[in-house]
Structure 1
Amino acid sequence: MSLLGGVRPPIAVLSALLLALAAVTALGLGRVGHDRIPEAVLTSQQQFAEDGAIAMRSSVDESVTDLHRVAGLLSSGAPVPADAVLDKVGSVYQKWRGTAVIEIGSGKLLAARGENLPLATIDRGKLSEKDGLGPRMVRLANGETRLLSFALLSWDGRPKQLLVASRSLRVPGISLGQFRTIAVLDSTGAILSRGGSRESEQDLDDPQRKAAKRADSELRAFARTAAERARQHPLKAREPGSGGFPGVSGSLTGGASNGERAAAGYATLAPARPGESTVAGGLGLTVVTMVDVAEDPSRGADPLFGVAAAGALLVIGAAVVALLLGLVQRPLLRLFLESRRLTGGELQRPVSVPANGEAARVGHALERLRRQLLGAPHGTSDPATPRRLRRIGVRGLTAACAVLLLAWSAPLALSLNHADAKAVIPQQLVNDQRERTDTLADRVRRALDEGRTDLVSVASLIGDRTSPDQMAEVLERTLQEHPRYASLYILGADGKVLARAGGTPHHPAGKGPGTRAVTVLNEGGKEPVVAGYAEVPGRKGAAVAGEFRVDFFNSLLKRPGLGEVRVVDDKRRTLGGNTGYRAFEKLPSERLDTLVQGTGARAGASLRPGALLHRNGSGVQIAAAAPFNGGGVAKSLNWTVVSWKPAEGLALPQYTVQNHTVLAGLLGLTAAAACLGWLHIVVARPLRTLAAQAEALADGDRRTVLYPRHHDEVGAVVRSLELIRQQLQEQRKRDSAPLAGRN
């Protein structure tokens, strides 16, 4: 017999699958929801830390790039005094706490601005080495840590000078809410900087002071663990195929107090794409965020539900297997033995005919053939097949078994344990959605402000350049250093393009730069064009214009865990997004429109992000909106970042139970479809064909040769029928031979 054919393998496999599914159901549905902090909350803390790491990495890399670019542009022109260098840097950028220019050879301080820099820590002898201009972290006398960045100033005929700038190691632009703490660690786990909204200890009473000390202890413990885990290779630090954040990240839980437990997320400063190297990525820094989360004492599922479902499956499975064994397998095996007996010449005992279905038809045909082999002529003397035997067959039994299994699987897959109406969504998830959306809005705003600041820097350095070739050279260099621009060009007061680099300008022909620093061009077109303008000193209304790439903005919005994200203007029209969208289309629901309107400017009120948790017939949705806030020219755009996601995709106990329940139902449907379909293909259809062939042979068809298609029980019966056909032909020849002799 074939290993994959016959009646036994489908029934045996179905029995094994149903037993395994019953075990999985009993264990899986009864062991969900034991964690006091849902996995979705811990994942959210991890993603929060990743946002902080991305913001800090971008800020550090941008600062270093800006310093080198300014130094390069200054070095390409006429020599500039040290004070003029710092004045020009300070007028364009306000991101550094202190700046200075020193002479490399003598170490003489030529000019300084802002806080005093620890210049004594700079080893000028290493500045000629390959990494001599790389940034360094230094600790000040007050215990704070600064990041020093360096850029070389060189002019022909003058000693080389070093431009030095310092910045703090605080994470910029992260919305922390009311109770979150964020810290930056070095490779040893030492806390270099920390921030948050906790009050100072002198303003707290004794219980609050104890809670603050406990939080500080938790943060230091998290810092040690995070620094240890950050030493792993990024590919080894997460599950294979998980993708996502290119660096090392994760979540941690601490001790519980007063129904709350500390939860933390950590992430290293990693490049935007794996395999790349950045200045910030080589500093060995890690960002850690911590927040107290209310514990959920409820269980995700009743363990008795899984046991009851598994018990019901065992009962139904036993009934199905019993039907298949008693009404399909045993009758077919009996036919196989009876057919073998007839071909072996044992004709005295009547054929044991099964009770119903195709097996009964074949058995009745075998009995008629037995009589014919004994010499009885076929025809009216043969007993007719009862019509009732034709009504009940293997197909009907297979359908009945499918209905029984469907009665168990369908409720699990479709109706039981639906979590939308009863799911408990932690408030922390709603808060995190709001704060992360606010962080994303600040990130987009900062990107616009930094882009426009770059244009101001280029305009100030290009003011005295009269040659279009020289202007085009500066624009090309800036375009290569900053991939955020699709095109850069010098626009005259009359709207004429004096020099350009990159793509074709979209500024309206014949119109001057106007007065807006950042604006949207091509409204109503296929894609929005966001452009920034900076007036060129001494050129009578000329300006440097830079058009930002749409892909640049969309890439800023691609953050895991936020769902769908859109950037909308003051008319709530879409300008960018992290998924497919149509330019200038409206938001998909009035609820999101109302949320955006609620976060807009009101009389006497500042702009604040908002969030909502909405339940309707189609599910539960978490949404948040954050308008542009803070300083900078981009705030005048009145843009808003909106995000929304379904709660059913979160790792919450109720949704986990729902997913496990649906999975159990789908597994039951799959097992039933696979095994019963297998049984239908290898048994039901061949058996119907066999019944028709057996009845035709019993009715006198001696010419049709019977070929077995499969090496199984049905095929064995077909081979036996072929042998019987041959025996009947030989018998017919013997009976006709005497008659021919007499004639």
Structure 2
Amino acid sequence: MLSVLLLSLAGITALTLGKPDNALVPKAVLTSQQYVAEDGAIALRASLDESVTDLTSTATLFNEGRPVSADTVLDKVGNVYQKWRGTAVIEIKSGKMLAARGENVPLTAIDLTKLSRSDGLDPRMVRLENGQTRLIIVALLSWKDRPQQLLVASSTLSFPGVDLGPGRAIGVVDSTGHLLSSHGALDSERARKQLTSFAKTAARKGRQHPVKAKEPGAGGYTGVSGHLTGGAAKEVRTVGGYATLAAPQAGGATTASSLGLTVVTEVDVSAKVSQITRPAFGVAAAGALLAIGGLAVIVLLGTVQRPLIRLFLESRRLTRGDLARPVSVPRAGEAARVGAALERLRRQLQGEPADVEGPAVRKGLGARALLAVCAVLLLVWSVPLMLLLNRADSAVKVPVQIVHDQNSRTITLSDRVRRALNEGHADLSAVAALIGDRTTPEDMKKVLERTMQDHDRYESVYVLGADGEILARAGHSPHHKDGKAPSKQALEVTGEGGKKPVVTATAQAPGRGGAAVVGEFRIEFVNALLGRQGMGEVRVVDAKGRVIGGDSGYIAFEKAPSYLNSLLATKKAHATVQRGGTVRVAAVAPFSGGGAAKSLQWSLASWQPASSLAIPEYSLQNRTVLAGLLGLTAAAACLGWLHIVVVRPLRALAGLAEALAAGDRKTVLFPRHHDEVGAVVRSLELIRQQLQGQPRKRDGGSRTPAGVGRN
């Protein structure tokens, strides 16, 4: 068994360690494009769903208050949200436009006669005459004693806050493979044709079921995603990724995910043939294993197997009554002890007394020591492969595209968190602006409870009077201290010294004498935004370098890792490859852009060890370590089996044989296994029985003990 395993391992070693890795584009680069596409799909899906929720919630708040004019509706909507290209209010019965803001909304796409259907208010995509695509969102305005109106908003299929990095293009594709919108590096005809080709492929692959499109048991992105490889020009190849718009929870559905859209990306990367391994290394490693393994097998054959077979034959000869020829005694070890005992037993069967010493046994290595020698021989081959050879940390070359992608993804995620906080503050501003003359706590509480239902980002929402008294609240108990007036800052962080940070947004309520609507964000909501594949560990860090949130275990307000200090000190988005004890790719992106969240001065940091990436150097290291582990496993399995099944019973056999030769005729001998050792034990039991019967044979069974008379 050991011989077969070592021969197989030698073949595997020669084929895997000696196989040149001539991949033009490392797998890590291809996988990174898939992750970038997933980031774009998440950003687009979240933006579209947020737009639908905001417009619907705003219309609901208007419907619960006093009737207002169409111009007032659009003015308040425009003051709170600046996300829509155009807005309009039309009267459903007559089809008359009552007010409009921004670009012309394509109202012809709305069939007013079908609004009563279950899907009458669903968002829809409209292609304009200039080739651009708009998403039309509608919400119902309904007051008593007034004709019903329709609030309409148009939005582009853009990617808010998605950083493309150098040379990348991105597009949105419908289910037929048609590009609805595209952005980025599309200056050349080759780039446009390649993106169009990728779009058709992505649409076809995006029609798969998310579960069937992945390996069994694979997690990660809930939609369909993957990477694409395009044409090459000189030493440059175009690669890309695709991802369908999918709900955050597997099997769920949102308004945006039901539109059948797919995000596709493309970028040119370096494609050079680099041979990091030499066939001679694999052949040399396999040859060394054959030499060392052959020596170990020869040692086991010559010192364990052959002497044991010889003892088996000799013991069988004695049991058959062939006592003329002396027993062939092995040279040393337990086999020599058993052989010497058999020789003494042969003489005793011939009538020699048991107290006569047998042939001297040479001192030498026992079976356990021989197994240890074989184990050391195999470890000499396995340990260097596991711990010393083909180490990648000292010479690894992290592809430049990996560093660019880590930087752009960190910037994208940083902007995603900033926009989420800004959206939360905007929602509170909408509540504060539309709370109107609701003076009773019951009326205000209804508005707050509806806000909590529409948005899961808040832990609690409450109306705070100018004197610090909570007038109405919904959700969990606030962290607000009694008597403290509303904060003048739109967003702030408290809770230092506690279990988790408290991120609070405050929106002043106009016309209420200093009262404000306050919302406390769930820190879990912020942390949930950070979970992305292929980014490693992600942390939200404040201006003092303290950790506020993260995608994995962290302690609130602890200092960020020291190796991020130099990146955080630059106060700008930057990524680098850090070398030292561990090679890692790290990036930092401070909040940029406007909005209430800018005052927090937060940064997003991400880092991951280069060893987690599918880089050729680390792939070679992993294969080398695997070969060493396989060698160690083969040695442990086979030598351990030999120790349990052969060596331990052989040592016990030596003791039993010596005791029997020394005159122990009472101990019955039972074999443990049906093998050569067991066969020798059975032979010794037969010899014991023969020795027990020798005195009775000489007496003939008729002698009478002295001093006993006959009757």
Are 2:467 and 1:494 equivalent residues in the alignment? yes
The alignment's TM-score, normalised by the length of structure 1, stands at 0.93
Q: Which of the residues 673, 697, 704 maps onto 1:734?
A: 697
Q: Which of the residues 186, 196, 213 maps onto 2:189?
A: 213
1:680 equivalent in structure 2: 643
Q: Deviations over 1:301-320 (max 9, x none)?
A: 21221121112112222222
Are 2:70 and 1:107 equivalent residues in the alignment? no
Structure 1 pair 187–198 and aligned structure 2 pair: CA distance change class (3 A): closer
Shift of the alpha carbon at 1:130? 1.4
Structure 1 pair 691–303 and aligned structure 2 pair: CA distance change class (3 A): same
CA contact (8 A) 1:612 1:622 kept: yes
2:709 equivalent in structure 1: none
Structure 2 unaligned blocks of 5 or more: 707-711
Q: Distance in 2 between matches of 1:330 and 1:110?
A: 104
The alignment's TM-score, normalised by the length of structure 2, stands at 0.97
1:205 equivalent in structure 2: none
CA contact (8 A) 1:96 1:167 kept: yes
2:284 equivalent in structure 1: 308
1:187 equivalent in structure 2: 175
Q: Distance in 2 between matches of 1:717 and 1:270?
A: 71
1:178 equivalent in structure 2: 166
Amino acid at match of 2:321: G
Q: Distance in 1 between matches of 2:184 and 2:633?
A: 52
Structure 1 pair 455–348 and aligned structure 2 pair: CA distance change class (3 A): same
Q: Distance in 1 between matches of 2:202 and 2:227?
A: 9
1:38 equivalent in structure 2: 26
CA contact (8 A) 2:332 2:362 kept: no
CA contact (8 A) 1:536 1:544 kept: yes
Q: Distance in 2 between matches of 1:385 and 1:464?
A: 113
Shift of the alpha carbon at 1:393? 1.7
Are 2:489 and 1:526 equivalent residues in the alignment? no
Matches within 5 A, 1:195-594: 195-197=183-185, 212-380=188-356, 382-388=357-363, 391-589=364-562, 591-594=563-566
Amino acid at match of 1:406: L
Q: Classify the secondary structure of the residue corresponding to 1:619.
A: coil
CA contact (8 A) 1:32 1:657 kept: no
Q: Classify the secondary structure of the residue corresponding to 1:408.
A: helix
Q: Classify the secondary structure of the residue corresponding to 1:727.
A: helix
Q: Which of the residues 559, 576, 585 maps onto 1:612?
A: 576
CA contact (8 A) 2:591 2:601 kept: yes
Q: Distance in 1 between matches of 2:406 and 2:699?
A: 94
Q: Classify the secondary structure of the residue corresponding to 2:298.
A: helix
CA contact (8 A) 1:299 1:653 kept: no
CA contact (8 A) 1:361 1:385 kept: no
1:604 equivalent in structure 2: none
Are 2:610 and 1:622 equivalent residues in the alignment? no
Are 2:120 and 1:156 equivalent residues in the alignment? no
Amino acid at match of 1:578: D
Shift of the alpha carbon at 1:734? 2.5
1:668 equivalent in structure 2: 631
Structure 1 pair 22–125 and aligned structure 2 pair: CA distance change class (3 A): farther
Q: Deviations over 1:52-109 (max 9, x none)?
A: 0000010111110111111111111222222211111111111110111122223222
CA contact (8 A) 1:262 1:293 kept: yes
Q: Distance in 2 between matches of 1:296 and 1:646?
A: 24
Structure 1 unaligned blocks of 5 or more: 1-11, 200-211, 601-607
Q: Classify the secondary structure of the residue corresponding to 1:271.
A: coil
Shift of the alpha carbon at 1:402? 0.5
Q: Deviations over 1:443-502 (max 9, x none)?
A: 000000000000000101113100101111111111111110001011111111111111
Matches within 5 A, 1:90-101: 90-101=78-89
Structure 1 pair 532–741 and aligned structure 2 pair: CA distance change class (3 A): same
CA contact (8 A) 1:32 1:656 kept: no
Q: Distance in 1 between matches of 2:114 and 2:642?
A: 79
Amino acid at match of 1:344: R
CA contact (8 A) 1:177 1:197 kept: no
1:54 equivalent in structure 2: 42
Q: Deviations over 1:613-658 (max 9, x none)?
A: 1111x22111100000011110111100011111011100000000
Q: Distance in 2 between matches of 1:72 and 1:713?
A: 88
Q: Deviations over 1:150-186 (max 9, x none)?
A: 1111122322221111100111110112211111111
Tell which deviates more after alignment, 283-292 or 74-83.
Answer: 74-83
Q: Classify the secondary structure of the residue corresponding to 1:441.
A: helix
Q: Distance in 1 between matches of 2:531 and 2:150?
A: 38
Q: Distance in 1 between matches of 2:20 and 2:424?
A: 49
Q: Percent identity?
A: 63
Amino acid at match of 1:474: V
2:620 equivalent in structure 1: 657
Shift of the alpha carbon at 1:385? 3.2
Amino acid at match of 1:279: T
Shift of the alpha carbon at 1:261? 0.8
CA contact (8 A) 2:186 2:192 kept: no
Q: Distance in 1 between matches of 2:698 and 2:402?
A: 92
Structure 1 pair 573–742 and aligned structure 2 pair: CA distance change class (3 A): closer
Amino acid at match of 1:130: S
Amino acid at match of 1:430: V
Structure 1 pair 79–463 and aligned structure 2 pair: CA distance change class (3 A): closer
Q: Deviations over 1:693-715 (max 9, x none)?
A: 10110011111111222222212
Q: Classify the secondary structure of the residue corresponding to 2:377.
A: helix
Q: Distance in 2 between matches of 1:96 and 1:482?
A: 20
Are 2:694 and 1:718 equivalent residues in the alignment? no
CA contact (8 A) 1:567 1:641 kept: yes
CA contact (8 A) 2:40 2:162 kept: yes
Q: Distance in 1 between matches of 2:56 and 2:405?
A: 36
Shift of the alpha carbon at 1:197? 4.6
Amino acid at match of 1:500: R
2:567 equivalent in structure 1: 595
Amino acid at match of 1:77: G
1:118 equivalent in structure 2: 106
Q: Distance in 2 between matches of 1:59 and 1:705?
A: 84
Q: Distance in 1 between matches of 2:73 and 2:417?
A: 29
Q: Which of the residues 48, 55, 67 maps onto 1:79?
A: 67
Tell which deviates more after alignment, 442-451 or 154-163.
Answer: 154-163
Tell which deviates more after alignment, 454-463 or 326-335.
Answer: 326-335
Tell which deviates more after alignment, 409-418 or 348-357.
Answer: 348-357
For these two proteins, the number of residue pairs brought into alignment is 706
Q: Classify the secondary structure of the residue corresponding to 1:253.
A: strand
Shift of the alpha carbon at 1:296? 3.2
Q: Distance in 1 between matches of 2:582 and 2:557?
A: 27
Structure 1 pair 432–651 and aligned structure 2 pair: CA distance change class (3 A): same
Q: Classify the secondary structure of the residue corresponding to 1:243.
A: coil
